[in-house]
Structure 1
Amino acid sequence: MFRRVGRFAVHRPWVTILAWIVAAVALGILAPGLKSTTDQAEFLPSHYESVKAGKVQEKAFPQDEQAAALGVFKRADGGKLTAQDKRDVAKVAAGLDAKHYKKISKVVTNEKAVSPNQEIALANIYSSEKNWSDKDVTKSIKSLREDAKPLLKGTQLKLGVTGQAASNLDAEESSGDTDAMIMMATLVLIIVLLLVIFRSPLIAILPVVIIFVVASVANGLIGTAASVGGLKADASITPILIVVLFGVGTDYILFLLFRYRELLRNGEEPKAALAEAVARVGETIASAAGAVIASFLALLLSTMGMMKAMGPSLAIAVAVTLVAALTLVPAVFSLLGTKAFWPSKAWKKTPKNRMANGVGGMVSRRPGLVAALSAAVLAVLAVGAFGFKSQFDMESQLPEKLESVQAMKDLQKGFSAGQADPSTVFVKSKDGKPLDTGSLEAFRGKLKDVKGVAEVSPGVPSKDKSVVQFSVITKAKPSADEAIELAGGDLRDTAHKAAPQGTEALVGGTSAVLADIENAVAHDYKVVFPVAGLAIMLILGLLLRSVVAPVYLMIAVALGFGATLGSTVWLFQDLKGEDGMLFMLPIIIYLFVVAIGTDYNILMVARLREEVRKGVPPREAIRTAVAQSAPTVASAAIILAGTFGVLLLAENSMLQQMGFAVAFGILLTAFVMAMLLVPTVTSLLGHKAWWPGHQDAPREDPLVKAEYGGTHDAPSYSGHR
């Protein structure tokens, strides 16, 4: 099949290229874009309590206005607020309220909105819009910040705006800069590395151009799936989508180009060599992409919509990249022929590759020692994984310089941290009859007694009085571990037990949502990991026609996963002193390092099988496979690790952790697993590695037969010269 695909693309290049251009332009123009959302409740299924509480709120308090943001006032000198300062606070709040911002209903303050220590005053910025990441709301917050500057002139006050809408605005603007930075750094890195590897400006630029076309098609398909098919795709996946498309795309292009160059060196004509290169590595690329796609699709089993959205979106991107690698890439290079390598002449000569040959020789001579040492290194690094601590405080990952972060710190100097975003407790009548608000004072008292609760507002009844709402201000910041544990534990337990007979109590709000997300993630670890692992094993089994090889390959991958997570924990928790790690990090490592990193294991084992089938003795096959594949694996891994590594340039700690973990994991997979551990274990197992099939049985190679008149006594088709 891959030989037919290769021949079609190579001999009908303009048809292939035109089809891709039409698809890219059409989807770029017609497909809807991805929307942003930071409403975590959207990403939870309906059976979680925080989601139920949100639905009760929508039904019982449809016009309820909540503080989308908070204006935090303080004196410029940090002192206590004077009587004049308090009048100025009221004047500024009134001035902002008079602006009538879109979807901001009012900006209000009062005498009670001054902290007990008299250092901080607050102004509530109310909105009836439930989605505080709404574009109009965040634009209004941005305008409000600007409009406050002239109002503050002549006063001793400073104003910072924080709260959910303000944090969403800052996160959106910060990530916008990050996306541009990641794109630029990724492009520069890929171009420079390809230029160093091939010493050809065309080969340095062409993959980037091709991937841009692929990105346009992939984004269009994802947007269409989100709009038409109900896929919950979110614009927050953009940074990950960038590095996946460029990283994986460059990998597959390199797999093809290295084999194409090798065939040219063996005397093949350019078009024949290119078509044969697709035939030779097509199955490897398809299997590698299949492993990645299957792993991403395993996220559909997640209980979190965030993961469910990420999985199919990235799977679509990888599928498009796979098709492009087998069609668009050979079509483009068939038009250029050997001119693609201009001005370098290196493609004509077989390089000495002393380092690759040295590694291949070492692996073949001392397989037992190399296997033991490489496994030991991975095992030692994996020890750090036991210290992993999840962190759900996404706001703490934002850069310190942002206004919402600084204003939150100022707020905490005078008020409880939960003031900006209170939890909500709803008491709902089971039979729909009106509730007596007065009789719920005892319930309110029980909530106030819960450790970690700073204040509980009096109950507010709904229009039909069948639901009463209490606002609970926690001492800790709503997204802090203490508040999350409180909302999902003591507060929820107390509310359930203290609810009067005939009523039901539900706890909602940011802290409760994050508590439910924590439970959802724990569930996902138990479901997604095994399913993704089994999917990869199945693909490996189909590729290798073996039961044994996929088992030890996945054991090696598990070691690599542990080593990657452990190294990241040691760096960020132990050395940098961070309180915890991104809660999604284990899943991200598993899917990106395990799935994408498995590409190199597949490439190595497939090449080893190819050599063994030619009748080459096992040890010599190992040496040749490692020597021939090492440059490809090393180049692809460095580029892929580099594309993820650029995330370390982001100011967001979450992206830094993700960038280091995936980049380091890819390098471990390539240089320790694919080049050392996997080939040595395969060598030690010998014929057993291919059980119950006979994948190591010599087979007729048409190219070798044509050149040498046979297979068994012929030199290795791509062997060491």
Structure 2
Amino acid sequence: MAGRRGGTATLVAALVVIGWLVVGGVAGPYAGKLGEVSTNDNASFLPAEAEATRAQDLTAEFADRQTTPALVVYARATGITDADRQRAAADAARFAQVPGVVTPIPPPVPSQDGQALQVVVPIDEAEGERIGQVIDELRAIAGDDRDGLTVDVAGPAGLLADLIEVFGAIDGPLLLVTLSVVLVILLVVYRSPVLWIFPLLAAGTSYALAAVFVYLLADHDVVKLNGQAQGILTVLVFGAGTDYALLLIARYREELHRHGRPWDAMRAAWRGAAPAIIASGGTVILSLLCLLLSSLNSNRALGPIAAIGIAATLLVMLTFLPALLVLGGRWAFWPRRPAVDQADPQTEHGLWSRIAGFVARRARVVWLATAAVLALLTIGLTQLGVTTLGQTDLFTQRTDSVAGQDVIAAHYPAGTGSPATIFTNQASAQQVAEVAQRVPGVAAVSPVTQGSQAGPPDPNAPPKVVDGRVEFEATLADPPDSNGAERTIRDLREAVHGVPGSDTVVGGFTAINVDTSDASARDRNVIIPVVLLVIAVILALLLRALLAPLLLIATVVLSFLATLGLCALIFRHLLDFPGVDQSFPLFAFVFLVALGIDYNIFLMSRVREESVHRGTRPGVLAGLAVTGGVITSAGIVLAATFSALAVLPLVVLVELGVAVAVGVLLDTIVVRSLLVPALSYDIGARIWWPGRLGRTDREARHAR
């Protein structure tokens, strides 16, 4: 009978493995096609009610075709020569022949200091992601610097092209680095030439499965995928997948000491580990889905995309991985195969048993000291958000668009080529223009006239009127992506909105950044409390208590604030970043709190299991000793996978990768290893209040 059951279990496991391998083979190609359905245009992420969005809608009414300007700037420190002017004019003629360029192209505009020429090249917005190819052709025509003349292609179109190029190259390098990091850590953790294959194969299958659903949703415009979400999906699936694999494999190894047949050991391991893994994954999924409350389309898209990644990972890790391990049996752990010796799991964890003993002897001192250290780190928050990242600050390397913007700022009003757009009623147009011109930071205000869409306005031409509205272009004195330009837009809006009956709308590149920043602030205020509530409910249901969830959330929030404080110091003084992206605090919170609570779930679910049989305080020590090694390994894996984002030349992803890596290590080494066990041990059975376990705890009964 046992033999037949064993044969059936092996057959089922083999069929499951074959089935998942087929799924992986079919889904695999979609992982490389995600770049085909991604967009990286900030304007497409704004809510419909944003003022910049309304301005874009009005722009479509005023222009035959909406354009994004590329600014080709020629500069010579000793002054522009006749040959330079001839070269710029010849280049402009060739630019006009490039498919996607809107003609006619206005003549080159000289700077007042005589050291620069600028050619404004309007590019049809209908080109979409192909704008990168248009910019490449413009750069090829403009050529390289020579004989002291520098040539750069900048402006909104140049910047967007550089972003598209960076995001287009995410898949290969990031996936390779992530796989390499996970492989090295698994080899170190398991010290087996075989076992690392199973979690890595399962994680790869998870990523392929997630890619299919993400691709289909993005292709049908259900979600807006961008390069940032694509990069996060990669590291999240491999990081979280390896975490779940480590937890299941550790429990499986533990049960192999108690069961002779691998399928019996896996059944016991699955029953013991699956609830914690499901609770952990469910917490992350629900936390990520809270991003659907965001007003920004980019945030709303990231939530479902990342949640799909975690859901796919849960499904694969709880079906495919167990089947692989059953087929591998004890040989999967070679050369350290576990024997059936009924050994107490704590005997295999000498180091963590000693740490548990230290926590027991100094519980109150340990949790007070660790809490004080974390609180001290929060002082660094004063350095966070002093400045925000401008669009030209997004790259860790100096791109052509960044170099060009610096040249433009040095020789022209820095906002040249990327003006703010002002739409107002015709009757109030003159007053609005005068008010706008008086706003500090506005260099010039000019009307859009008949036939002026492709070039500078003709001062003698009448203003173009559409449905009783007139459009003005306001050139800003500061670079369009700078803090100064954003302050000017806010002041400009306040000034022109004050003109009675004007119904004025202000848009443009800088206005998009302003509205994105405001939407991000609103999202933080709405989403963070909801995420905390969701996590509290899940923990209360899992632990069947109220006090324990509240304390766990408090420790994770403290760890989050300490992480932000430490990261602020790292960004400012070590990495020399000019600021943080406006989306950083919210993304950091969602990932750090959702992923950080994972380790507390892994720990406290085991503590509760042990407390039922041993009592709370012995259960805390046993839970810490048994889970210490695997959770620490899981934390290192997750930190290492997110740190792989640092290989990308984008400041926002480097910052998020560093923040998650630092935060996960703090959660793993300090919060989960010391603060939570010490606090739980000090409180004792009351930690389960008002649950039944606190009332029936053997330790509590003995104390009475």
TM over 0.5: yes
Q: Does 1:365 align with 2:361?
A: yes
* Counterpart code for 2:620: I
1:649-668 equivalence runs, <5 A: 649-668=647-666
Q: Does 1:104 align with 2:101?
A: yes
* Counterpart code for 2:655: Q
Shift of 1:465: 5.9
User: Given the superposition, is the C-alpha separation of residues 689 and 10 from structure 1 closer, same or farther in structure 2, using an over 3 Å criterion?
Assistant: farther
Q: Would you say the 8 A contact 1:613–1:696 is kept in 2?
A: no
Q: Does 1:381 align with 2:377?
A: yes
Cα distance in 2 for residues equivalent to 1:548 and 1:7: 47
The alignment's TM-score, normalised by the length of structure 1, stands at 0.88
Q: For residue 137 of structure 1, what is the aligned residue in structure 2?
A: 131
Q: For residue 676 of structure 1, what is the aligned residue in structure 2?
A: 674
**Percent identity of equivalent pairs:** 31
Cα distance in 2 for residues equivalent to 1:68 and 1:493: 27
* Counterpart code for 2:664: I
The alignment's TM-score, normalised by the length of structure 2, stands at 0.90
1:114-263 equivalence runs, <5 A: 114-129=110-125, 134-149=128-143, 157-228=149-220, 230-263=222-255
Q: For residue 473 of structure 2, what is the aligned residue in structure 1?
A: 471
User: Given the superposition, is the C-alpha separation of residues 23 and 223 from structure 1 closer, same or farther in structure 2, using an over 3 Å criterion?
Assistant: same
Cα distance in 1 for residues equivalent to 2:240 and 2:339: 24
Shift of 1:556: 0.6
* Counterpart code for 2:299: M
Q: Does 1:329 align with 2:321?
A: yes
Q: For residue 555 of structure 2, what is the aligned residue in structure 1?
A: 556
Deviation string, structure 1 residues 162-199 (Cα, Å, up to 9, x no partner):
11221122122223445433222211111111111111
Q: For residue 21 of structure 1, what is the aligned residue in structure 2?
A: 21
Q: Would you say the 8 A contact 1:293–1:319 is kept in 2?
A: yes
Q: Would you say the 8 A contact 2:40–2:226 is kept in 1?
A: no
Q: 2:398 aligns with which of 377, 397, 401?
A: 401
Cα distance in 1 for residues equivalent to 2:241 and 2:395: 30
Shift of 1:675: 1.3
Cα distance in 2 for residues equivalent to 1:312 and 1:532: 15
Shift of 1:446: 1.9
User: Given the superposition, is the C-alpha separation of residues 418 and 537 from structure 1 closer, same or farther in structure 2, using an over 3 Å criterion?
Assistant: same
Deviation string, structure 1 residues 273-323 (Cα, Å, up to 9, x no partner):
112111101100000001101110010111111110000110111011111
Q: Would you say the 8 A contact 1:647–1:659 is kept in 2?
A: yes
Cα distance in 2 for residues equivalent to 1:7 and 1:392: 60
Q: Would you say the 8 A contact 2:259–2:340 is kept in 1?
A: no
User: Given the superposition, is the C-alpha separation of residues 9 and 692 from structure 1 closer, same or farther in structure 2, using an over 3 Å criterion?
Assistant: farther
User: Given the superposition, is the C-alpha separation of residues 620 and 659 from structure 1 closer, same or farther in structure 2, using an over 3 Å criterion?
Assistant: same
Shift of 1:228: 4.5
Between 1:386-395 and 1:161-170, the stretch displaced more is 386-395
Deviation string, structure 1 residues 584-633 (Cα, Å, up to 9, x no partner):
2221221111101111101111111111112x143322222111111011
SS at match of 1:583: coil
Deviation string, structure 1 residues 197-236 (Cα, Å, up to 9, x no partner):
1111222222222211111110111222334472333343
* Counterpart code for 1:372: L
Q: For residue 411 of structure 2, what is the aligned residue in structure 1?
A: 414
SS at match of 2:254: helix
Cα distance in 2 for residues equivalent to 1:241 and 1:9: 34
Q: 1:485 aligns with which of 487, 502, 512?
A: 487
* Counterpart code for 2:440: K
Cα distance in 2 for residues equivalent to 1:235 and 1:117: 40
Q: Would you say the 8 A contact 2:91–2:141 is kept in 1?
A: no
Q: Would you say the 8 A contact 2:395–2:651 is kept in 1?
A: yes
Cα distance in 1 for residues equivalent to 2:646 and 2:239: 16
* Counterpart code for 2:442: V
Cα distance in 1 for residues equivalent to 2:137 and 2:277: 50
User: Given the superposition, is the C-alpha separation of residues 167 and 339 from structure 1 closer, same or farther in structure 2, using an over 3 Å criterion?
Assistant: same
Q: For residue 295 of structure 2, what is the aligned residue in structure 1?
A: 303
SS at match of 1:581: coil
Q: Would you say the 8 A contact 1:10–1:330 is kept in 2?
A: no
User: Given the superposition, is the C-alpha separation of residues 424 and 89 from structure 1 closer, same or farther in structure 2, using an over 3 Å criterion?
Assistant: same
Cα distance in 2 for residues equivalent to 1:447 and 1:210: 59
Name structure 2 gaps, 5 residues minimum.
1-5, 450-462, 700-704
Q: Would you say the 8 A contact 1:573–1:581 is kept in 2?
A: no
User: Given the superposition, is the C-alpha separation of residues 29 and 87 from structure 1 closer, same or farther in structure 2, using an over 3 Å criterion?
Assistant: closer
User: Given the superposition, is the C-alpha separation of residues 581 and 129 from structure 1 closer, same or farther in structure 2, using an over 3 Å criterion?
Assistant: closer
Q: For residue 40 of structure 2, what is the aligned residue in structure 1?
A: 38
User: Given the superposition, is the C-alpha separation of residues 65 and 186 from structure 1 closer, same or farther in structure 2, using an over 3 Å criterion?
Assistant: closer
Cα distance in 2 for residues equivalent to 1:465 and 1:656: 47
Cα distance in 1 for residues equivalent to 2:582 and 2:94: 42
User: Given the superposition, is the C-alpha separation of residues 7 and 557 from structure 1 closer, same or farther in structure 2, using an over 3 Å criterion?
Assistant: farther
Q: Would you say the 8 A contact 1:102–1:136 is kept in 2?
A: no
Shift of 1:125: 1.0
Shift of 1:515: 1.1
1:237-636 equivalence runs, <5 A: 237-345=229-337, 352-389=348-385, 391-428=388-425, 435=426, 440-460=429-449, 461-462=463-464, 464=466, 466-487=468-489, 489-498=490-499, 501=501, 503-614=502-613, 616-636=614-634
Q: Would you say the 8 A contact 1:282–1:326 is kept in 2?
A: yes
User: Given the superposition, is the C-alpha separation of residues 174 and 45 from structure 1 closer, same or farther in structure 2, using an over 3 Å criterion?
Assistant: closer
Q: Would you say the 8 A contact 1:422–1:472 is kept in 2?
A: yes
Deviation string, structure 1 residues 122-144 (Cα, Å, up to 9, x no partner):
1111123256xx23322111122
Q: For residue 72 of structure 1, what is the aligned residue in structure 2?
A: 73
Cα distance in 1 for residues equivalent to 2:7 and 2:190: 25
Shift of 1:148: 2.8
Cα distance in 1 for residues equivalent to 2:518 and 2:673: 39
Name structure 1 gaps, 5 residues minimum.
1-5, 429-434, 700-710, 713-721
User: Given the superposition, is the C-alpha separation of residues 95 and 57 from structure 1 closer, same or farther in structure 2, using an over 3 Å criterion?
Assistant: closer
Cα distance in 2 for residues equivalent to 1:652 and 1:276: 45
